[in-house]
Amino acid sequence: MTLNFMNKVSYLFAGICCLLSLSLNAQQLDVLLGSSIDCGANSFCVSIQLQSTSSVDIGTSSIFLDYNENALSFNSYTSTSFDGSAQCVANVASAWDVHSFDGISVPGDFNLTMTLLLNDFSCPSVTNAPVEAGIICFDILDGKADPMVSVNLENTQFNSAATNDGSSTIEPSTGAGITGAALDCTIPCIAKGGDSDGDGVCNADDQCPTFDDNLLGQPCDDGDACTVGDVYSNCGCTPGAFQDADNDGICNANDLCAGSEPGMACDDNNACTTDDTVDNNCNCVGISQDSDNDNVCDSDDQCPGFDDNLLGLPCDDGDACTVGDVYSNCGCTPGTTQDSDNDGLCDVLDKCPNDAANGCTPSICVSAGRITSHEHIQKVVLNTIDNTSNKEGYGDFLSINTDLQKGQAYPITLTPSSTATYNQFWNVWIDFNQDGDFDDVGERVLSEIGVGAVQGSISVPTTNIFNGSTVMRVTMQWEVEPLSCGEICYGEVEDYSISIF
């Protein structure tokens, strides 16, 4: 992108100034600055350009500028080259990263870094035709002040693309800047009240002091799609002719239908609809009287709230105990209940599906604490369980039982011995599906860490759970989260009985 100065705004061009010369291996590199002013926008912009009498391929480089912070305030920066926009790598990808810059942190300073990612693909090359790197724009704070834009020679540095590692750098040797009355927008019309709208016509001679007189008589757009032939006049955009070919009071741009307009009654020739009207797409649409969308009108439908086409097809009644469910009687009819041992409990919910006496209770894995002299479980409180114990390593309290209801939550308090003065990891498991392990999803019901007593809440699920007696395991271990099975080093394990209902 290059600066494009339109004739409707008053610009002052400060010229192209060669700011500094840089040399490497007999190559010459010049940094040029161009300036422009937009009086209407109260904006002053500086173009940074590079030029060389030979062909130079630059690498990662930094450019620093100084400016008068009392005259200018940084507004924006736009990169135009060396920024990834050109496809340097086999004409399909870029070798450059996006520019990084800072014009805010230190008022009066602007720094720019151009980063080359691939040394062999630096583009464009810097030649005798100036290459614009980017454009800095400032807000004008004081139009009477000197902008004093200059290159900071000490901090400006260019790398050669050949190495691009700082070993082959180009050091600045000379410098100049943009100075003078480059910011004064009022000078051309100072005797006639200035030029408020920046159209090059002084206020005293301006037919429209806040409007660009050069636009008068030119076509415009008043923002109304119903008019054509809009033209600038009376210091603004005057609407043209209103377009309404069918004289219905609705302009052509908003007139949707050639015949009946939206909202008018019609007949869609569908016996299953009522209250037919023209919609916004000029279609005749009624209210469907086919509530189940099976293409059978409710008046003729065997099952008005059900898709008749499903009758006789397999379905799922949502009961895991049945198989062979089928659509009939306008709904999903349950199939055969599966109860292999005829104990009144379906196989899916029966922990012993082939044993009517349910005597196949699986065994729970062994777990115990090896060293309990430093810490052990002192007390467990859950519902009606309130058990204080000593340091057994493994506490078999299966004779202690409490009832827990499906879908309910119960508070639990776990207290270590007074000698447990460090962080203790607590895990609690309940074998909800009574399969002899604690590995199933949702069976670890509590996991806490802390010094002293910990509190939490145990939520009893409603799925993948059997009624009857099962095991709850409470495990505490120093500094390391315990597993549900096996030996733990410092800590203790206790088992309790839980009755699910």
> Residue 309 and residue 501: Cα distance in Å, rounded?
41
Q: Is residue 391 located within the same domain as residue 316?
A: no
Domain boundary among 227, 255, 283: 255
Q: Is residue 411 located within the same domain as residue 495?
A: yes
> Residue 205 and residue 218: Cα distance in Å, rounded?
20
- Residue 140, burial from CB neighbour count under 10 angstroms (0-12, 13-18, 19+): buried
CA angle in degrees (0–180, nearest 5) for 337-343-345: 50
Q: Is residue 352 located within the same domain as residue 371?
A: no
Q: Is beta strand 424-430 parallel, antiparallel or unpaired with respect to 385-388?
A: unpaired
> Residue 103 and residue 75: Cα distance in Å, rounded?
8
Q: How many other CB atoms sit within 10 Å of the CB of residue 92?
A: 7
User: Do the beta carbons of residue 474 and residue 402 sit within 8 Å?
Assistant: no
Both tokens of residue 51?
A: 């030029």
Q: Domain for residue 202, yes or no?
A: no
Q: Domain for residue 277, yes or no?
A: no
Both tokens of residue 38?
A: 């937009």
Q: Domain for residue 267, yes or no?
A: no
pLDDT of 247 reads 73
Residue-range definition of the domain harbouring residue 23: 15-178
**CATH number of the domain that residue 64 is part of:** 2.60.40.680
Tens of pLDDT along 29-42? 788 888 888 877 88
Q: Is residue 120 located within the same domain as residue 243?
A: no
* Helix, strand or coil, per DSSP, at residue 121: helix
Q: Is residue 35 located within the same domain as residue 138?
A: yes
Q: Of the candidates 34, 37, 36, which has an alpha carbon nearest to the alpha carbon of residue 16?
A: 34
- Specify the residue for token string 């464009």: 124
Q: Is residue 345 located within the same domain as residue 374?
A: no
**CATH number of the domain that residue 448 is part of:** 2.70.50
Q: Of the candidates 495, 497, 473, which has an alpha carbon nearest to the alpha carbon of residue 484?
A: 473
Q: Domain for residue 99, yes or no?
A: yes
Q: Domain for residue 325, yes or no?
A: yes
Domain boundary among 357, 382, 399: 357
Q: Is residue 327 located within the same domain as residue 437?
A: no
Number of domains in the chain: 4
Residue ranges, the chain, pLDDT below 70? 1-28, 92, 170-176, 181-182, 185-196, 198, 200, 246, 248, 258-259, 349-351, 354-362
Torsions phi, psi for 131 (to 5 deg):
-110, 120
DSSP class of residue 109?
E
pLDDT of 326 reads 93
- Long-range CB pairs of 89-92 (<8 Å, 24+ gap) are 89/118, 89/121
List, in order, residues 6 or more apart from 326 with CB less than 8 Å away. 312, 313, 314, 315, 332, 333, 335
> Residue 186 and residue 486: Cα distance in Å, rounded?
89
pLDDT of 364 reads 85
> Residue 183 and residue 71: Cα distance in Å, rounded?
8
Q: Domain for residue 477, yes or no?
A: yes
Q: Is residue 93 located within the same domain as residue 172?
A: yes
pLDDT of 398 reads 92
- By residue count, the chain amounts to 501
Neighbouring-strand partners of residue 21: 30
Q: Is residue 324 located within the same domain as residue 410?
A: no
> Residue 493 and residue 485: Cα distance in Å, rounded?
10
Q: Is residue 75 located within the same domain as residue 140?
A: yes
Q: Is beta strand 284-288 parallel, antiparallel or unpaired with respect to 322-323?
A: unpaired
Domain boundary among 255, 277, 311: 255
Which amino acid, one-letter code, is at 64? F
Q: Is residue 404 located within the same domain as residue 431?
A: yes
Q: Domain for residue 4, yes or no?
A: no
Q: Of the candidates 302, 319, 300, 321, which has an alpha carbon nearest to the alpha carbon of residue 311?
A: 302
Q: Is the pTM of this model over 0.75?
A: no
For the chain, the C-alpha Rg in angstroms (whole number) is 42
Q: Of the candidates 402, 420, 400, 422, which has an alpha carbon nearest to the alpha carbon of residue 410?
A: 402
> Residue 44 and residue 75: Cα distance in Å, rounded?
9
User: Do the beta carbons of residue 412 and residue 470 sit within 8 Å?
Assistant: no
Q: Domain for residue 8, yes or no?
A: no
Q: Of the candidates 187, 185, 156, which has an alpha carbon nearest to the alpha carbon of residue 170?
A: 156
Which amino acid, one-letter code, is at 361? T
> Residue 38 and residue 139: Cα distance in Å, rounded?
10
pLDDT of 199 reads 73
> Residue 463 and residue 407: Cα distance in Å, rounded?
9
Q: Is residue 382 located within the same domain as residue 346?
A: no
